[in-house]
Structure 1
Amino acid sequence: MAFWAYMLKCSDGHFYVGHTDNLEHRIAAHQSGLVAGYTQRRHPVELVWSETFPTREEALAAERQIKGWSRAKKQALIAGDWELISQLARSRKTN
């Protein structure tokens, strides 16, 4: 079974990061407002990034890591710009 970490862009421009074992179902639930909490009043949402993982633990670890990132770092992830992600990580360590 595969698991996903994913990022949504909400209608207000904020990002939401989560993980699931059924990406299509989970996105549909966010879209319909069935997921209580952050995205419920911020839909429609758009899937802007996802990655598969072999275990739930790895998907959850990715979710937690990305949730701690700055908006700029999340945007770099969406763009697939690993060089910028590295630069942002280095600059954060020196501040």
Structure 2
Amino acid sequence: MNKEQNTNQEKRHYFYVLECADRSFYAGYTTEPERREKEHNTGIGCKYTKSRRPVRMIHREGFATRSEATKAEAAFKKLTRKEKEKRVGRDGDTEEL
């Protein structure tokens, strides 16, 4: 296997944002965004989203390492609500997923 093939098979790490039924945001980390969204919607995602279903993934960013993705998640969680809305494109400037 050459280096290019090996790179293509490596796992991607994602920082993602869900919008909950109560319009709150939930930020997390995963290697499989589609599976993770389904888990949140079936009640096995986490305690926070369990009572706020349905949830919808409105933002995700891919990174080469887990460290980069979790740093993006931590930085997002420190933002104000207005800054979070702008970051995920809820300020009217960009399209959502």
- Which TM class, normalised by the smaller chain length? 0.7 to 0.9
Give the SS at the match of 1:38: helix
**1:61 partner amino acid:** K
1: CA distance, partners of 2:68 / 2:90: 19
Summarize deviations over 1:9-38 as a string: whole Å, max 9, x none: 000111000010111111100011112310
**1:16 partner amino acid:** Y
Point out where structure 1 has 5 or more consecutive residues left out of the alignment.
82-95
Give the SS at the match of 2:86: helix
RMSD: 1.4
1: CA distance, partners of 2:84 / 2:67: 21
Length-normalised TM-score, structure 2: 0.79
Q: For 2:32, which of 22, 31, 37 is the aligned residue?
A: 22
- Relative to structure 1, the CA distance from residue 58 to residue 80 in structure 2 (aligned partners, 3 Å threshold; closer, same or farther) is farther
Match of 2:61 in 1: 51
Equivalent residue pairs, number = 81
Match of 2:73 in 1: 63
Length-normalised TM-score, structure 1: 0.80
Q: Which runs of 4+ in 1 moved over 2 A?
A: none
**1:35 partner amino acid:** G
Identity fraction in percent:
36
1:13 matched to 2:26? The reply is no
**1:12 partner amino acid:** D
- Kindly indicate which of the two structures has a greater share of residues assigned to helix: 1
2: CA distance, partners of 1:76 / 1:4: 19
1: CA distance, partners of 2:71 / 2:79: 13
Point out where structure 2 has 5 or more consecutive residues left out of the alignment.
1-10, 92-97
Match of 1:84 in 2: none
